[in-house]
Amino acid sequence: MRWLKTLLVVLLGLCVVLAGILFTVNNTERVVVDLLFFQLPEASLSLWLIASFVVGGFLGAILSGLTIIALRTRLGSVRRRLNHTQQELDQLRVSALKDAV
């Protein structure tokens, strides 16, 4: 079963590479990207589009990673408070039992 997953991943990777090559071949027009305050150098349209896709992917991964770290930190804090509250509740139960006897 593992070989099937590996085969599918390899085939998907080859399809993505083939689509990228076809995209690059069909979009060779040279353009200048104007970013309001400055202009990026002239390059092919496919280069700018693929570069923006890759940069967006990296930024998305970094931001989601930071979000996951923040959520795990928050979860650890909540778990510590829950444990503290649970211990306090157990102590109150024990003291109530001692007072009842």
| 10-61: pLDDT as tens digits | 999 999 999 989 988 988 899 998 888 889 899 999 999 989 999 999 999 9
Q: Collect contacts of 44-52 with beta carbons under 8 A, ≥24 apart.
A: 49/23, 50/20, 50/23, 50/24
Q: How many CB atoms lie within 10 A of CB 33?
A: 14
DSSP 16: H
CB 26 within 8 A of CB 45: no
pLDDT, residue 101, reads 64
Q: Directed axis angle between helix 45-100 and helix 2-26, to 10°?
A: 140
